[in-house]
Structures are given as structure tokens and as C-alpha cells.
Amino acid sequence: MPCASDAENIAELVKGYKKEVQLLKRRCSALEQTVEDLKSSRDSHQRMIESYRQEVIQLKVLQGTLNTDFQGEKFGDMDL
């Protein structure tokens, strides 16, 4: 027959587990927010890189140094 001490021990274990679960939930939420922040930063960087790529293409077009040949085939005007 279980004694009161066993019930108290079980109650303490359950209480400890509940605290651990709450801490893990908070940590998970913080990590999810970090992931979202990193995705946003990545998207900003990708837009900036694309902007720079288009600038380089426009400069090469203006300078007449853009080569639109690929494997012997000329592609002409490119969609900038």
C-alpha cells in the first residue's frame, strides 16, 4: 500500500516535470522567433543581392561589355 511519502514524491516529480515542460515551451518559442528573424534577414539579403545583380547588368549594358552568348547561341535582349 503506497504511503503519503510516495504520493508526495510523485507530486513533486510531476511539479518538476511541469516546470521543465514550460521552460522547454518558452525555449522553443524563442528559437522559433529566431528562425523567423533569420528568414526575414535572408529575404532582405536576397533582395539586396538581386538589386546589385541588376545594377551590374545595367552597367555592363551601358558599357557594351555584356555578353549574351551561351554555348554559341546569342540570346539578345535579356529581361532585366
Residue 37 lies in a domain: yes
The reported pLDDT for the residue numbered 61 is: 87
Residue 45 lies in a domain: yes
The reported pLDDT for the residue numbered 80 is: 47
| H or E, element range at 7 | helix 4-63
Contacts of 36 (CB under 8 A, 6+ apart): none
Residue 29 lies in a domain: yes
Residue 2 lies in a domain: no
Residue 7 lies in a domain: no
39-74: pLDDT as tens digits: 999 999 999 999 999 999 999 989 988 887 878 777
Residue 20 lies in a domain: yes
In the chain, how many domains are there?
Answer: 1
The rounded distance, in Å, linking the Cα atoms of 42 and 44 is 5
Domain region containing 29: 14-63
The rounded distance, in Å, linking the Cα atoms of 17 and 19 is 5
Give the chain's mean pLDDT: 89
Over pLDDT 70: what percentage of the chain? 91
